[in-house]
Amino acid sequence: MYSQCPQCLTVYKLAPDQLALAHGRVRCGTCAEEFDALERLTESLPQGEFERLHMHDDDQFAPLLTLPALRPLSAQRDLFGEPQRATPAKPPSFARSRRRSEQKPSATGWALACLALLFTLGAQLAYAGRAQLLAEPELRPLLGEACRILDCRLPPHRDLSQLALLARDIRPHPSVRHALIISATLANRAPHAQPYPIVEIDLADADQNRIAMRRFQPEEYVSDRDALKHGMDAGAATELHFEVADPGKGAVAFEFSFL
């Protein structure tokens, strides 16, 4: 058999054992070029002058071998005896690493993940319904203890039904034209401190038709920041003063609402 170096075009005569050593890879003794001898392998040289040996196409179908010359005795027994179990080939390293990454988590991992999700869901529900939870007298001590551990502070318990208006009065503003001063005394009858409410004042005519309305946030009528932060003490009463524009002589009644 013959093959040709693609670099210097030297033609060599090859033996089958030379081709088998490196699966067809050989080195040219003339120019030291390493090449695949199978690409131009031929059994005989062409007649006459030639430049290059014919190069085999890479896309040729593998030929079917139909004339066996020898079969090992062990393989012959496999044809007529009990089939032998094939030893599974060891997968490549990249396949093994991928298989390890695709292993299912253990039952303990699933349980911990479910507990974490349940805890997160419970925290979200508690935050969404915090107003209802804070309004429960039985839960306030537990929440207070939790806040003590977590170094936080519970907001004052709000119960508008325990707020009472003891007195109220309306008069012209002494120094501002076309303005009124509305005074009221607010009492907290709850057994706990409460935050100052949003106060809504409605001015109406003789037929109870609303003429004007104004809502006051706590920071608009409470100037003491510490008192605003602490809220109204249990059983305490406080005086409130509001300045509003005079809607005219048609306003003969006014009403307070707490929000």
**Complete DSSP assignment for 124-160:** HHHHHTHHHHHT-TTTHHHHHHHHHHHT--PPPPP-G
Average confidence (pLDDT) over 135-149: 67
Least-confidence region, from 23-27, 91-95, 217-221, 226-230: 91-95
Query: Alpha helix (H) ranges present in 63-139?
Result: 73-80, 93-101, 107-128, 130-134
User: Which residues are bridge partners to 2 per DSSP?
Assistant: 13, 42
d(CA 80, CA 92): 33
Collapsed DSSP state (helix, strand, coil) of residue 122:
helix
The string of pLDDT tens digits covering residues 22-62 is: 888 999 989 999 999 888 888 888 888 888 888 877 666 66
d(CA 22, CA 139): 82
- Rg of the chain over Cα atoms, rounded to whole angstroms, equals 49
d(CA 76, CA 16): 27
Say if CB 12 and CB 53 are below 8 A apart: no
Say if CB 242 and CB 202 are below 8 A apart: no
Collapsed DSSP state (helix, strand, coil) of residue 52:
coil
CATH number 2.60.40 is the correct assignment for the domain at 160-258: yes
The pTM of the full predicted model, rounded to 2 decimals, is 0.44
C-alpha 240: how far from chain center: 48
Residue 99 has pLDDT above 70, yes or no: no
pLDDT at 39: 87
Average confidence (pLDDT) over 109-120: 84
Q: Which of 127-137 are b and which e, b meaning 16 or more Cβ less than 10 Å from the residue's Cβ? A: eeeeeeeeeee
Signed CA dihedral, 16, 17, 20, 22: sign only: negative
Q: What angle do CA 54, 57, 59 make, to 5 degrees?
A: 170
CATH 2.60.40 domain span(s) along the chain: 160-258
- Return mean pLDDT, the chain: 80
**CA nearest neighbour of 240 among 177, 194, 198, 179:** 198
**DSSP, res 46:** P
